[in-house]
Amino acid sequence: MAIDKIIVTVMLIIGGVVASFAVFNSVYPAVERSSQAVSSAADVVNDRMTSRIEIIQVGGSGTTVDAWVKNVGAARIGGIEGSDIFFGMDGGVSRMAFGDNSTSPPYWSYQLEGGNAQWGQAVTNRITIHLADSPSPGVYLMKMVIPNGIFDESVFSLE
């Protein structure tokens, strides 16, 4: 009779250990994914909180419009080519594609001022909008949205 109790006790202990192991293996990956998701969300929020740009000057000449945009945030801005540039007169604003000299206008390009290789804090970026024709005199809007959604816009006149 005592052997039966020992066998039953051993079987219950083995069953408990196996069940505990199964529960741990199913719960631990979910907890790990949760903590990674929270960490990733915190990184995105931190990036948005430390990013800020300011359009400090806009002017045009011929078929180009130049805008100087300063990084006034604490974060370095990467993926500049992935930014959105909107330009046009009231009611006729359109998104410009990023391009280079081999691209047909309209498109935009950029040059970091001061020989900087990265758009870090306090670095000014010269955005050049290349148009097919000279813009007619009037009031224009230029808006820049960097890849993380932070933006600034400027309303200005071209003569």
* Mean pLDDT within 59-65: 94
Per-residue pLDDT tens over the stretch 79-121: 999 999 999 998 899 999 999 989 999 999 999 999 999 999 9
What confidence score (pLDDT) does residue 43 get?
64
Residue predicted with more confidence, 61 or 30:
61
What residue has token string 């994914």?
33
Nearest to 111 by CA among 68, 144, 149, 159: 68
| DSSP, res 113 | G
Q: Is-contact 103 157, C-beta < 8 A?
A: no
pLDDT category at 155 given cuts 50, 70, 90 is very high
What confidence score (pLDDT) does residue 44 get?
66
Pairing of strands 107-112, 53-61: unpaired
Q: Which two tokens stand for residue 28?
A: 């631990």
Residue predicted with more confidence, 35 or 13:
13
**Residue 89 Cα distances to 7, 102, 141, 154, 155, angstroms:** 86, 26, 6, 12, 9
> What is 133-152 written as a DSSP string?
SPPPSEEEEEEEE-TTS-EE
* Mean pLDDT within 53-64: 95
Selecting from 3.90.600.10, 2.60.40.10, 1.10.3760.10, 3.20.20.70, what CATH number does the domain 52-158 have? 2.60.40.10
